[in-house]
Amino acid sequence: MNQSNDLSPIRKGIVGVQYLFVAFGATVLVPLLVGLDPSTALFSAGIGTLLFHLVTKGKVPIFLGSSFAFIAPIVKATELYGLEGALFGLIGVSAVYFVMAALVRWQGTKLLNRLFPPIVIGPVIMLIGLSLSPSAVNMASTNWWLAAASLATAIIVTLYTRGLIKLIPIFCGIVVGYVLALIFFPSEVDLTKVAGADWFALPKLIFPSKISWEPILFMIPVAIAPVIEHIGDVYVVNSVTGKNFVKDPGLHRTMLGDGLACLVASVIGAPPVTTYSEVTGAMSLTKVSNPSVFRIAAITGIVFSLVGKVSALLSSIPQAVLGGIMLLLFGTIAGAGISNLLNSKVDFGSSRNIVIISVTLTTGIGGAIMQFGNFSLAGIGLSAVIAVVLNLILPEPEKSNETTETKTNKE
C-alpha cells in the first residue's frame, strides 16, 4: 500500500471524507440512543482521533468513533446516577485503558491473554448485544413499517452490495427509513428544529459536575471487552497495511491514545470512542493507509459537528427507524461474541467452558445485582467480573486423563 503515500492533497481529502462517511452512521447513532448530542459525538471522534495520532507518533492509520459497547451501560448508569453521573463514570473507561497500557508496556500481552481469553470476552460481547434487545423492540414497535423498511435496507446492503456501500448498511438503512417517513408518515418527523437551527453552532458540551466513585466503579468492568477488541483491531490493521504497529509505535501507545480519547469524550459529554473496524475495512478496499488521510477524516468530523442543522436533522430521525437498525445491530454484536468463541476454537465439550459461558450469560440477561452499601454492580459489568473470576479459579481439564479415558473407551 505504499502508493497511498503518493496521493495528491485533493485525493487525500476525498478519501478522508469518504472514511468519515463510512463511520458517520455508527458514530451518530450511539448518542441518539443514549440521549446525547450527535454533534458532540462527532466533535469527540475528531478530537479523539487527532489525539490518538499524536500519542502514536502519527504512524497508525486508525479512526476512533462512538462505541456501541457502552450503549447499555450508559443507559443503565443514567437510570442509577443521572446523566451527569453516567458521564463522570466514563472516566473509569479511560482508567482501564491506562492500566492496560501500563501492563502491556510491562508484561506484553501475556497477562492480558491470561485474564481475558476468548472464553471470557466472547460471552461478554454477546451480552452487550442481547441486553439491548428489549430497547430495540420497543423503539421499532412505534412504527413497524418504518422499522421493517430500515431493517430490510440494512440487510440488503449487507448481503447484496459490494465496495464501500457494503460498509455503510447502518447509514443506508437510516436514510431510506427517514425518506419513507417524510413521504408516508410526515407527522413522525419534526422538521421545525431543523428549520430553526443555526448553520453554525457549537456542540452541546456537558461537563460532569457530580463527583462520585459509584458510576466509575460501575463502568470499569464494562471497559474490558472494548480494550481487548482494541488489541484485535490493531492486529487487523497490521495485516491490512503489512506493518507491525504492535512494535512500532507499540501497543501500549495505541491503548494510551485510545484511553486519552475516551477521557476527553467523558469530560465533554460524548460516548467513549474506540477503534472502528468499518474504517479498517474501507482501507482494505481503497488501498489507502496513509495516516494523514485519517487525520483529514477527523478534521472533517469536527467541521461537521459545528454545523447546527446537521445535529438538528439527526435528532429528527424517528424512533422506529433507529429501532429497525438496532434489531440488526445488536444481534450482530451478539453474533460477534459467538464468532469470537468459534474462531478462537473454544472447546464447547469442556464442562468448565460451558459453566463460564452459562453463568456469564444468565447473570447478565437475568439482571443480577451485587450490592455493597451504596455501591451496586450489575448487568454487563457484573457478568464480566464473574467471567474473569470463574476463568481464574476453575481448574483446566487434564488433557492427559481425558486422552487415557478416550483410549480406554475405544478399546
127's grid cell: 451480552
240 CB-contact burial (10 Å; exposed 0-12 / middle 13-18 / buried 19+):
middle
Strand residues in 181-265 grouped as ranges (E): none
DSSP 90: T
Q: Return the minimum-mean-pLDDT range out of 118-122, 266-270, 321-325, 329-333.
A: 329-333
Is pLDDT larger for residue 313 or for residue 51?
51
- Distance of alpha carbon 149 from alpha carbon 185, whole angstroms: 13
Predicted confidence at residue 200, as pLDDT, reads: 85
Would you say 78 and 385 are in contact if contact means Cβ atoms under 8 Å apart?
A: no
Contact assessment for residue 252 and residue 94, using Cβ atoms and an 8 Å cutoff: no
351-385 pLDDT tens trace = 999 999 999 999 888 878 777 666 666 777 788 88
Task: Give the pLDDT confidence of 376-394 residue by residue, as tens digits.
Answer: 667 777 888 899 899 999 9
- DSSP per-residue string spanning 77-100: HHHHHHHHHHHHHTHHHHHHHHHH
Residue pair 61/264 in contact by the 8 Å Cβ criterion: no
The residue count of the chain comes to: 411
173 CB neighbour count, 10 Å cutoff: 28
Q: Secondary structure of 186-207 in the HEC alphabet?
A: HHHCCCHHHHHCCCECCCCCCC
- 23, 103, 226 from 94: Cα distances, Å: 22, 14, 11
Closest CA to 273 of 250, 257, 251: 257
Go through 377-407 and write b for each residue having 16 or more CB atoms within 10 A of its CB, e for each that does not. bbbbbbbbbbbbebbeeeeeeeeeeeeeeee
pLDDT of residue 399: 58
The alpha carbon of 400 is separated from its chain's Cα centroid by a whole number of angstroms, namely 40
Q: Among 182, 280, 197, which Cα is nearest to 234's?
A: 280
State the pTM of this model.
Answer: 0.77
> Residue with C-alpha cell 459467538?
338
